[in-house]
Structure 1
C-alpha cells in the first residue's frame, strides 16, 4: 500500500461521496466527445468553440451534481473555472494526457498535453491530476519506459502536494488474436495494477476486468491502493452492473464518461440541457447508489 500524504488525503475526500466512494464524471474526452455530438457533417466539422460549449453544458447540467469532474486543459480549462461554470462543491480533476498515442516497437505510449505539469494542474484550479498510460505488463516491467514515467510523475505530483490518479488501459498487440487477448485481459488488468502500485501509484482508474473473481485479483494486486472502474464506452445498464460487482469485490468507486452522456450531447445547447437533465442525471444518481454499495 502507498499511503496518502495529508494533502492527498484531503484531495481524496473531495472526489468521493459521503460514504467515501469515488465518483467522478469523466469529461476530458476530445475526439470521443465530438464523435457523439451528432454533427451532420461529421466530428471533424465540430469546432473547438462548439466542443467547449458542449463541455460547459455537461458540467452545468450533470457534473455539478457529482463529487468531482475530470476535464482537459486543451478545451475545457481554464474557461470553465474562470467563467464560474464549475460549481464550488464539485472537485476538479485535470487530465494531463494528450489525445491518441504513439507506437514504438509495437507498444503504445501516451504523451502529456504540451506544457502541462503538476504545477500547471494547480494553476488551472485542479484539486487532483490524472494521467493515462497504455500498458502491457507482460511486455513492460519495472525497468520499462512506462514504469519510469509513472515513477517520475508520482514523485513530481507528491512534491507539488497533488494527488495523482493513474489510469491504465490495456490493448491487443498486432500479433495477438482477439481470442488470445480476451483470455489474457483479466490478468493484464491485475498485473498492470501491480506494476503501477510498485511505481508508487496511490489511486488507480482501471477497466472492469470481466468478473467478480477478476475483481478480487485486481484488489489483491492493488495491495490496498483504491481503484475505480472506468466505463470504457459500455452502455449505462451494463456499467452499473459492472460497478456493483467491482465494489462488492474491492473497488472503491467509478469514473464514468460515455456511459453517462454519450447519447445526451446533441448539437444545440437547449437539446443538450433537456437530455442531460432528463437522461444523464438520473443515470448519475443510479451510479451513485451503485458506488455506495447499495442493493439494486
Structure 2
C-alpha cells in the first residue's frame, strides 16, 4: 500500500507541512479564546478582554515559539490577523473553524462554526489544515450526539472537497448531572477513560473524514505516572487502547495540564504510537501569568517555554511514531523529508 493510494495529494502535502522533516508533529496551539480572554478580562477589570491585549499576546506566542514548532494553530479572530505578518512561511499553518461559544442544552453541548468562516476560506487564505473541536459525550442525549456527528461529518466532507487535512479534537465535558462543572476548555479530572475511548471510536469511522486526531489523555493528566514509574503499566494499557481505537495518526493535547504532567502523558502516548503533540497552555501558561507585564511574558517565553519545548521535542524525536509510518498506511511508506525531492507520483499530476 502506498500513501498516495490512501490520501489525496493535497492532504498528503498538508500533513507533511504540519510535521517536521521526519514526520513528527511539534505543534503549538495559539487559538485559545476563553483561556486567554478570561484572565485578561479579569486583570483589566473590563467586561470584555481588549482585542489589542488578546491579539498582542498571541503575536508574542508566534514570535517566540514558532522556532521550536513544526506548525502552529491560529484562530481567525486574533492570532491570524495580528500575527500572520510575523509568521514564518516555513512553518505549517492550521486554522481553527469552531466557535468558542457553544449551546449548552439539558442534553449536552452543541457546537457551531465561527460566523462567516468555512473550510473553503481556510483553504483560500493558505492554511495547511483545518482544526475543529467537537464537544462530545457518548452518554449525552441521543439527539445531541446525532447533531454533533452531523456537524462533524459535514466538516469532514468539506475538507475532502477542498483536499485539506482535517485535524479533529475531542474533549470530555461535564453533563448536567456531573459533580465537576466547567465551561472552560480544560480537562475534567473526574472523567472516565471509557468515555474518551468511546468518543474516539465513534469518530474513527471513515465517514467523518478525520486525518489527524488531537486527543486528550484517557486518564486525568495529574494521575498519569509516566512510563517507567510506579503503576505505569496500568496507565499504559489505556493509552494503548486509545491509539488502537484512533486507527490513524494522532497527537496529544494538553488541556491545561502543567509542564511536568504533560511530559509524563507524552511518554505514554508515544509508547502507544502517537506522532507528536498539539499543545498550548502546557507550553505558555506560566509565561502568561505575568500579564500585563509584556517584557516579563516575552522573557519567560524565551527562557522557560522554549526550554520546555526543546525538552519535549527531544522526547518526540526519539519516541514518537512518524505519521506516515502509521499502520493505516501499511507502516512502510517512504515520504521524503521536506528538503528532498518528493518521490511519489499522483494520478492526475502527469506522473
TM exceeding 0.5:
yes
Equivalent in the alignment of 2:217: 208
Alpha-carbon distance change, 79 to 168 in structure 1, aligned in 2, over 3 angstroms:
same
For the 8 Å contact 1:68–1:92, the answer to whether it is kept is: yes
Query: Alignment partner for residue 196 of structure 1, among 185, 198, 203?
Result: 203
In structure 2, relative to structure 1, the CA distance for the partners of 1:218 and 1:25 (3 Å cut) is same
Q: Is the 8 A contact 2:160 2:209 kept in 1?
A: no
User: Are 2:56 and 2:82, in contact at CA under 8 Å, matched by a contact in 1?
Assistant: no
Q: What does the per-residue CA deviation read over 1:46-83, in whole Å, with 9 as the maximum and x for residues that have no partner?
A: 410121111111100112431100010111223422xx
> For the residues of structure 2 that align with 1:284 and 1:184, how far apart are their CA atoms?
27
Deviation string, structure 1 residues 223-281 (Cα, Å, up to 9, x no partner): 2x111111010101110110111111122211110010012133243222211101111
Unaligned runs of 5+ in 1: none
Larger radius of gyration: 2
Moved more, 134-143 or 230-239: 134-143
Q: Name whichever of 167-176 and 92-101 sits farther off.
A: 167-176
TM-score (norm 1): 0.89
Counterpart for residue 144 of structure 1: 146
Q: Does 1:161 align with 2:163?
A: yes
Question: Do the aligned residues in 2 keep the contact of 1:94 with 1:130 (CA within 8 Å)?
Answer: yes
Partner residue of 1:291 out of 316, 328, 335: 316
Q: Which runs of 5+ in 2 are unaligned?
A: 181-187, 220-234, 321-351
In structure 2, C-alpha distance between the alignment counterparts of 1:93 and 1:193, rounded to whole Å: 21
- The corresponding residue for 1:14 is 17
The structure, 1 or 2, with the larger RCO (C-alpha pairs under 8 Å, 6+ apart) is 1
Change over 3 Å in CA distance of 1:39–1:268 after alignment to 2: farther
**Gap change, CA 1:279 and 1:200, over 3 Å in 2:** same
Cα distance between partner residues in 2 of 1:249 and 1:278? 31
Aligned to 1:78: 81
Q: Deviations over 1:84-109 (max 9, x none)?
A: 20012211100111113212342112
- CA drift at 1:184: 6.0
Of 107-116 and 266-275, the range deviating more from structure 2: 266-275
The RMSD of aligned alpha carbons is 2.4
TM-score (normalizing by structure 2): 0.76
